[in-house]
Amino acid sequence: MKKGEDMHAQERIAKTPKAWAALSMPDLVGRRAHSLLLMANGRRSARELTALLGRDTVELADTLLKLGYLQPVKPMAFGDLDNA
């Protein structure tokens, strides 16, 4: 795995409004993508989702990101918890 890919795999991802709309139509995105959208809660990284969903999840997440179904989430610093 390349260094850039490893960093991307650790990035937290969350659903966009487009993904929320697609959840009611699983056939729109396909079964694997639908499962990934269900689990992308902003707390899990692509690497964690790969452990749950299997190989090629990082690539699928990248595709869904480019299509506007997923968005990267800025990690919260410890001090940010007071503002959450």
Identity at 30, one-letter amino acid code? G
pLDDT band at 2 (very low <50, low <70, confident <90, very high): very low
Task: Tell me the pTM.
Answer: 0.76
Please classify residue 26 by burial: count the beta carbons closer than 10 Å to its beta carbon, then call 0-12 exposed, 13-18 middle and 19+ buried: middle
Domain boundaries, the chain: 3-74
Q: What does the block give as tokens for 60?
A: 């699928």
Asked whether 9 and 1 are in contact (CB, 8 A), the reply is yes
pLDDT in tens, 14-26: 999 999 999 999 8
Nearest to 49 by CA among 5, 14, 75, 18: 14
